[in-house]
Structure 1
Amino acid sequence: MGFTTGDFPPVDTSTFLHQPLRERVRALALHWVEYGFGSPRIIAATYVAKILFLWLFVGAVIITATSGVGWFWQVDQWWNQPIVYQKAIIWTMLLETIGVAGSWGPIAGKFKPMTGGILFWARPGTIRLRPWEWVPGTAGDTRTILDVVLYLGLIASLAVALVLPGTVTPALAAVLPGNTSGLVQTPAVIAAIVFLVLAGVRDKTIAVASRIEQYLPALVFFAVLSFTDMIIALKLLIVVVWVGAGVSKFGRHFVNVIPPMLSNTPFWPPRWLKRSLYRDFPNDIRPSRVAHFLAHVMGMTVEIAAPLVLLFSQNFWVTLAAVVVMVGFHLFIISTFPLAVPLEWNTLFSYAAIFLFLGFPASAGYGVGDISSPWLLAGLVAALAFFPVLGNLRPDKVSFLPSMRQYAGNWASALWTFTPGAEKKLDAVVRPTKNQVEQLQQMGYPAEVAEITMQQTIAWRSMHSQGRGLFSVLYRSLPDIESRTVREGEFACNSVIGFNFGDGHLHDERLIRALQTRCHFAPGEFVVVWVESQPIHSAFQEYKVIDAALGVIERGRWRVADAVAAQPWLPDGPIPVEVRWKREGSEPVPDVTNSLRLPRKRSERVAR
């Protein structure tokens, strides 16, 4: 892999696409082990340059110039100024909301143009996905002038909050009498909260993209809490994010994330180290003991233990060590360039660890015991823990982001399939872009090369636990699978709504229904296999088969243990699945319930 040249899979482009799907998945998965996406390093360098120039340099210039804390290069004067941290959150949220932070660029499947976000959401007629159908005034799936006004109002309110000078509150003056830069102005923050809630209730895509689950609580803390309480609440917020993500890594999924994630790292590690993450490359590419160690010790354990140390430590050196660990943790994630590319978010969290726990340590009166009221503490903990708890018990009700399952591998996801030529019908969707294969061809890729490039994403999905289940259902449900085009749902979703962050709730049957009203697929032309995240108390994942023309035609589940035990390309055949409901009139499929090896009492209860 060179700086300007990628490492394309070593296949014959003239014959590869005629091979069976299993063989294609195997070849591309084995290539992923050593090269990941195989992108030229200039693409990763572009992301690094974007962080350094846009988020860091431009952000530092704007924040320091509007806050009265010294020039941007005088870091020693502003790194621990409260208004700087507040505006760093607002700046990051602004970039996320515009669409130039997470889920941006080629690694996220945006080739031409590289930005989704604002190009979709400031345009009437594009697809809008409401989070709750019962909310009055949100009917429909087409973006209106009102939606555009609310979205642009959100951007404007964040920009205003960013550039306005701070105000010194009595609570701040009492604690930091020498502080003259103050805090962000409350009216602008309240305006941002209102616009975010209104825009988010009408379109969950904007809510997810703006990271409402993390930035909205921070904005509320800015607006309603006294200074000391605000700092403690911000600490609780970031610790809940860290610990919630750590808890979500219990189970079987996360270890399957580590190998393909590290394999995609463009600058390190060497190929021999990448291979060590797999049991016996190229014969067995399930996770090795090295991968298990990285997942459960360096990942899960660190993400739970270090934040708790930060929250309760009264010792400077212990706190400093934990800060170093968490900064290193986020820099490590940045170095892997995960496909959702949440690089600005990880950079912000690195700064947050320094600002909150070294700038305002518990030993200086900013510990959880220093909050103004135990009732406030209890309320904050309950509010911050509500969605993570609910989302892990009922993942069908809560996105994986408010559930705090970042990077956990336990995601709702999907594979889309089209009969020959049917994918072209997506051109009926109002959007500023084309299907990704067409984007690549516009950039000069030959048709076969563009197709193989996008098929790398389904091989990547097969390396994760839910991918084996999705492919198993496809092989069982679609006898014509070899003639179909198969797409990774997350990437395909990006091309029609301008965003995806690994959240399968953005491309469930509601998006498919919206596409159908525009594209008018015939029965069987566009079939999706979609799976929900695994509840924390269950051993199964629930799937749906969705025909765009007919709706959900099948529901079932598979045992997660069976999925993680299989090779990505399923050489031993599909894993066992249990069909629990099938639409009347759909083509019958073999009953494989008994092959799930359920305990007798459980299977009898399911049968009833």
Structure 2
Amino acid sequence: MGLIAPTLPDLDVDAWRSTSRAERTKVLQQHWALHGFGTPGGVYGLYALKIALYVLGGLAFAASTPGIGDLGDVGDWWSSPVVFQKVIIWTLLFEVLGFGCGFGPLTMRFLPPIGSFLYWLRPGTIRLPPWPDKVPGTTGSSRTILDVALYVAVIAAAVYVLLSPADRGQMLIEPARFVPLLVLLPVLGLRDKTIFLAARSEHYWVTAIVFLFPFVDMILAAKLLMLAIWWGAATSKLNQHFPYVVSTMFSNSPVMPKAVKRRLWRDAETDLRPSWLAGTLAHVGTVVEFGVPVILLFSRGGTVTTIALIVILLFHLNILASIPMGVPLEWNVLMGFAAVFLFGEHAEVGLTDATQPLLVYGLFALVVISVAWGNRRPDLWSFLPSMRYYAGTWSTSVWLFGEGAEQTYADRVIKAAQLPHRQLAKLYPPDTVDLMVGKLQAWRGLHTHGRAMAGLHPHAAADHESRFVLDGEMVCGSAIGWNFGDGHLHQEALVAAVQERCHFEPGQLRVIAMESQPFWNPIQRYRIIDAATGVIETGEVDVAEMVSRQPWDGSTPFRITSRDESAVG
């Protein structure tokens, strides 16, 4: 692995290109099993630098608080309540500027690796309102001066908090200073859900709400939100998908020995289903997320709390060290800090200490309802407020560009960045570009839903082998400036916005959209969309069929519930 040279399989690329898509993907999936994405060493250095700058930025804003002390005295003031408040708002700002989740090469953003904030500051770019038919004044898919002004106002509101003083008693920021941010971010979200989600509002915006509470209630409510995040993530892992996430994610880890990676699979050459080791790691992780937060909540300090904190810190460090695709790195740093601050420094605050229990437990109930509803009706909720972070059953899509369609997209859509293969072409020779783009498809196929997606290619277009096929998440990063695993961002609404600009003929662009598996429901539903004419097929697939097959096996049986025979071809 070189500084900028990826680790790729040693093969005859011309011969590889001449095989079927399934055969091409199989080779790359076998390579992924031991080498992951093959990330260049310089990319890991970039992410390490970004984490360091994130930490330094948070400390700098905390140290700017009058009377708190200098950076050199951080050991004396890191546990001050105002530090926790500013770290939360700094992390929100870091994310809403596009520097956090969805940043850089591990989301197929190479040139430029950043740019979300530049895109969201540009009128005429694509925005995706969540309920344009229900909320007045939100229709349309083009960003206006109003949207840009709202985005600037959100940034200014966050900076306003970060530069705020704290009272000298409890060292807390005046609650009224959070109100502009708390109001402006959801207002902006009604115009463009992308930015609201990119801010990781399900965590940071909700935590900012508790900063309006009295001190003890603030601490308790923040603890309960952390509990909801851990339990929500753990609940979503109670499925057949999560071991596939574990084997795929840890295979991409730069610190995991190759011998261990090999043992994550039943057979790294012939059977790319998770091994007993991957399954055990998945179950252990789920138990940790369920059990350790309860211990932290009830232990009230001492040795038990210390041990529990060490376990949860190692848990998040393990995720951080794997450098997962989508790179939620700073989020894991924040979770570690928040755990130590809330459950370590303020272990004495317990469930019976609320001075205004209606506020504390009312907010907690709303979060729990959103998680429960999102797990039962994932078609109505983003996976972020549903807290299905690592569940492996995310909503997703695949875009199949017919002849000339990708060029039309490149010419007519104002983008945050070109599609990945065009970015890579400026850095690497064509052989490397094809293999790296293929590695992305291999990664998707190693998850259960990716196996079904490959089997749906012939349903979408008879000429699927000759089409340029790209994961919808990569189109999302190009077209709307951010991508972090939410398939709802690159399904019907984005297809309609792209069609509005490109005017594709029927058949030129087909999109396969698959919905996440509802909790305790053994099926996943799909739709096939023609950009020009709408939905041409709907159906469903049994999860049991997906998990029983190899990632290159396209024979998954589907139950077609509707089909326009005249349009499929």
Q: After TM superposition, is the score higher than 0.5?
A: yes
Q: Does residue 231 in structure 1 map to residue 214 in structure 2?
A: no
For residue 463 of structure 1, what is the aligned residue in structure 2? 446
Counterparts of residues 54-453 of structure 1 (less than 5 Å): 54-133=53-132, 134-168=134-168, 173=169, 179=170, 182-223=171-212, 225-266=213-254, 268-297=255-284, 299-361=285-347, 364=348, 366-427=349-410, 428-443=412-427, 445-453=428-436
Name the SS for the 1:113 alignment partner. Answer: coil
Name the SS for the 1:544 alignment partner. Answer: strand
1:153 partner amino acid: A
C-alpha deviation, 1:377, in angstroms = 4.3
Name the SS for the 2:203 alignment partner. Answer: helix
In 1, distance between residues paired with 2:66 and 2:413? 44
Structure 2 residue ranges without an equivalent (≥5): none
For residue 603 of structure 1, what is the aligned residue in structure 2? none
C-alpha deviation, 1:73, in angstroms = 2.9
For residue 559 of structure 2, what is the aligned residue in structure 1? 578
Name the SS for the 1:257 alignment partner. Answer: helix
2:536 partner amino acid: I
For residue 560 of structure 1, what is the aligned residue in structure 2? 543
1:68 partner amino acid: G
Taking structure 2 as the reference length, what is the TM-score of the superposition? 0.97
Q: Does the CA contact (< 8 Å) of 2:312 and 2:336 recur in 1?
A: yes
Q: Does the CA contact (< 8 Å) of 2:441 and 2:470 recur in 1?
A: yes
In 1, distance between residues paired with 2:271 and 2:181? 51
For residue 35 of structure 2, what is the aligned residue in structure 1? 35
C-alpha deviation, 1:296, in angstroms = 0.8
Q: Does the CA contact (< 8 Å) of 1:455 and 1:487 recur in 2?
A: no
- Summarize deviations over 1:511-565 as a string: whole Å, max 9, x none: 0010001111121111111101100031100101011111111111100111011
In 1, distance between residues paired with 2:2 and 2:256? 15
C-alpha deviation, 1:49, in angstroms = 1.2
2:238 partner amino acid: F
1:232 partner amino acid: L
Cα distance change on mapping 1:70 and 1:294 into 2, 3 Å: same
Name the SS for the 1:62 alignment partner. Answer: helix
Q: Does the CA contact (< 8 Å) of 1:277 and 1:289 recur in 2?
A: yes
Cα distance change on mapping 1:429 and 1:477 into 2, 3 Å: closer
1:205 partner amino acid: T
Aligned length: 567
Taking structure 1 as the reference length, what is the TM-score of the superposition? 0.91
- Summarize deviations over 1:235-264 as a string: whole Å, max 9, x none: 000110011100110010111101110111
Q: Does the CA contact (< 8 Å) of 2:232 and 2:386 recur in 1?
A: yes
Q: Does residue 493 in structure 1 map to residue 481 in structure 2?
A: no
- Summarize deviations over 1:96-127 as a string: whole Å, max 9, x none: 00001111111111111111310211100000
In 2, distance between residues paired with 1:415 and 1:11? 26
In 2, distance between residues paired with 1:333 and 1:75? 26
User: CA RMSD, aligned part only?
Assistant: 1.4
C-alpha deviation, 1:65, in angstroms = 2.1
C-alpha deviation, 1:62, in angstroms = 2.3
- Summarize deviations over 1:439-494 as a string: whole Å, max 9, x none: 11123x12332122112111100000100111111134432121111111112211
Q: Does the CA contact (< 8 Å) of 1:65 and 1:72 recur in 2?
A: no
Q: Does the CA contact (< 8 Å) of 2:301 and 2:344 recur in 1?
A: no
In 2, distance between residues paired with 1:503 and 1:476? 23
Q: Does the CA contact (< 8 Å) of 1:476 and 1:574 recur in 2?
A: no
In 1, distance between residues paired with 2:73 and 2:513? 51
For residue 604 of structure 1, what is the aligned residue in structure 2? none
Q: Does the CA contact (< 8 Å) of 2:241 and 2:447 recur in 1?
A: yes
